């Protein structure tokens, strides 16, 4: 697991948080997202995070996800530095989410 300043959570914990109202934020690039993504994930590429982070709600928990957990951890650390309080990283990313049998989607941006 990546050592970050934000907590790592399991796919099951991430799914539970989303079911309780957290926003799942996928920070991969659009082509990666279109191949497969966690159901309901909002795409906000890491490459655009600095200019678009204001689109994310500060009053809602955020679960950050990428392919394997490294980019989402960096994104989460950045958001914490911008004043977002409840931010966690999904350890293992989309790969772990899919391996856990949690719902995924294809297509879209």
Q: What is the pLDDT of residues 34-51, one digit of tens each?
A: 999 999 999 999 999 999
Check whether 7 has a pLDDT greater than 70.
yes
Point out the catalytic residue in the list 24, 38, 66, 79: 66
Dihedral pair phi/psi, residue 100, rounded to 5°: -80, -5
Q: Which two tokens stand for residue 34?
A: 């279109």
pLDDT of residue 3: 46
Q: Give the Cα separation of 69 and 89 in Å (integer).
A: 7
Is 66 among the catalytic positions?
A: yes
2 within domain boundaries = no
Q: What is the pLDDT of residues 62-96, one digit of tens each?
A: 999 999 999 999 999 999 999 999 999 999 999 99
pLDDT over 70, % of the chain:
95
Alpha helix ranges (H) inside 21-91: 30-35, 46-52, 70-81
109 within domain boundaries = no
pLDDT of residue 82: 95
Range of the domain at 67: 8-104
> Looking at the 3D structure of the chain, how many domains does it have?
1
79 within domain boundaries = yes
CATH code assigned at 27: 3.40.250.10
1 within domain boundaries = no
Check whether 2 has a pLDDT greater than 90.
no
Q: What angle do CA 94, 85, 43 make, to 5 degrees?
A: 35
Average per-residue pLDDT in the chain? Answer: 94
């Amino acid at each position: 697991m990546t050592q970050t300043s934000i907590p790592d959570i399991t796919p099951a914990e991430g799914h539970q948080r989303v079911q309780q109202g957290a926003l799942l934020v996928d920070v991969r690039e659009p082509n990666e997202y279109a191949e497969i993504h966690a159901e309901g994930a909002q795409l906000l590429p890491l490459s655009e995070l600095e200019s678009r982070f204001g689109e994310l709600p500060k009053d809602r928990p955020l679960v950050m996800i990428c392919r394997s957990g490294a980019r989402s951890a960096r994104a989460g650390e950045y958001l914490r530095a911008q004043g977002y309080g409840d931010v966690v990283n999904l350890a293992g990313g989309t790969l772990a989410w899919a391996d856990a049998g949690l719902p995924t989607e294809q297509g879209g941006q």
